[in-house]
Amino acid sequence: MPYDAYGNYVPSKANNRTDVFGYDAIGGVGQLIYHLVHFKEYELDYTESYGLIARPYCQKGYAPELYTKDSPSGADLTASIYNLAKKIDDPSEERSYTDLIIEWCKQYGHPYAIDSLHAYLTDPQYKLEEDGYFIEKDGTFRIEDFMRNLERFYQGMRMHFAFEHMCLDNDEQALALHKDGKHFAGLPFFEQYKYDPDDAPEIDYSSADGDLVKMMQMDAAAANAVEHTDDFSRVVFDYYEELQEKLVDLIPDFRMRLKVNPKTRKMVFAADVHSVFDICWYTFARKLSEDVAPEDKGRASAKPKETEAVVMSCPFCGEAFIRRWNRTITCGKPECHKARKAMNQRNSRKKRKIDRVGVNII
Ligand SMILES: [Zn+2]
């Protein structure tokens, strides 16, 4: 957001057309080199018109840096952004969301104006003393914008994770999806399945005016009016297509257009990437488009290819993590690994018991 210290709009002088992200460059597959810019320090400021803004330092002693190697992949960014939202939304978290956002930016890179900042830093004429002022302006963003973008992405991912766990017979996340967190609203996505439609009056959606979230809230209100229940009274899996459509509606459109790749001088069909949220949504959409059929989830055939990195959520702590080609289902923290082992033991005891009973019946 190109705003100066007084909150006035200042047009960018960066060239947005020089940076190219092709189909093969974005997503959770393999190594992906982003042009993320790292700032060492940020300054927070309150402006009358834009509220709290974060301005990166671009001055002597605080020169911004480009990743030379080990740039975070789309999957890395997706998992870390999800975990940032989870932390911000956790009632037991004592640090302010502003602190957590700035900490994320310092660790991963600047979240906005990705194309323009990269263009500045790679321009042969670039000089810190001359361009620093403009880079600071281009990089300035509103904390409120970040929170709004983060909430939307967090809601979409939460819904997806709840969906995935449900396909693996774990309804916990889906049942809790409607609950509001410390800062972010819950999504009453699954509430309608907590009651039987035969018991409920017809819902008139006309006042929602096509707003999906409003419609879901009306479903939730109808569910509450019938009977308060903490379990599903319908088999949610039977509504798989309907649920899929709702998830797709939450994902923003991508602007795809032809760009010239300056390295190869060839035209490529590429997505516009301005913010880290564009990268995350794109990675998420790709994951969905490459997903296996619901009935195959958890089966050996659903195992990703060796090079594939998939963003999953841990069934024990709920954090997002990246599963490489092995079949790990936990985030790898010792307590989650332990919980997984205990669950395996319980399951095998249950299975042995079922086997024994089965033999007796026969
Ligand atoms: Zn975990």
Q: What is the pLDDT of residues 190-202, one digit of tens each?
A: 777 776 766 666 7
Q: What is the pLDDT of residues 157-197, one digit of tens each?
A: 999 998 888 887 788 888 888 888 999 998 887 777 776 76
Ligand 1: centre distance to CA 340 (Å): 9
pLDDT at 31: 32
**Closest Cα to residue 133, out of 38, 66, 62, 58?**
58
- pLDDT of residue 36 exceeding 90: no
pLDDT at 194: 75
pLDDT at 310: 83
Q: What is the pLDDT of residues 337-356, one digit of tens each?
A: 899 888 888 777 766 665 66
- DSSP per-residue letters across 196-243: -GGGSPPP-GGGGTT-HHHHHHHHHHHHHHH---SS-SS-GGGGHHHH
Ligand 1: centre distance to CA 318 (Å): 6
Structural domain spans, the chain? 333-362
Q: What is the pLDDT of residues 268-300, one digit of tens each?
A: 766 777 899 988 998 888 888 777 666 666 555
Ligand 1: centre distance to CA 287 (Å): 21
pTM for this predicted structure: 0.77
Ligand 1: centre distance to CA 132 (Å): 41
Ligand 1: centre distance to CA 315 (Å): 7
Ligand 1: centre distance to CA 119 (Å): 39
- Listed range (36-40, 63-67, 139-143, 208-212) with the worst mean pLDDT: 208-212
Task: Give the chain's length.
Answer: 362
- DSSP per-residue letters across 183-198: SS---TTSGGGGS-GG
Ligand 1: centre distance to CA 173 (Å): 14
Cα–Cα distance, 358 to 362 (Å, whole number): 6
Cα–Cα distance, 211 to 215 (Å, whole number): 6
Q: Residue 312: phi, psi to the nearest 5?
A: -125, 170
Contacting residues for 112 by C-beta, under 8 A, at least 6 apart: 1, 139, 141, 145, 274, 275, 276
Contacting residues for 261 by C-beta, under 8 A, at least 6 apart: 20, 22, 267, 268
265 versus 109: which is more confidently predicted? 109
pLDDT at 333: 92
Max Cα–Cα distance, the chain, nearest Å: 85
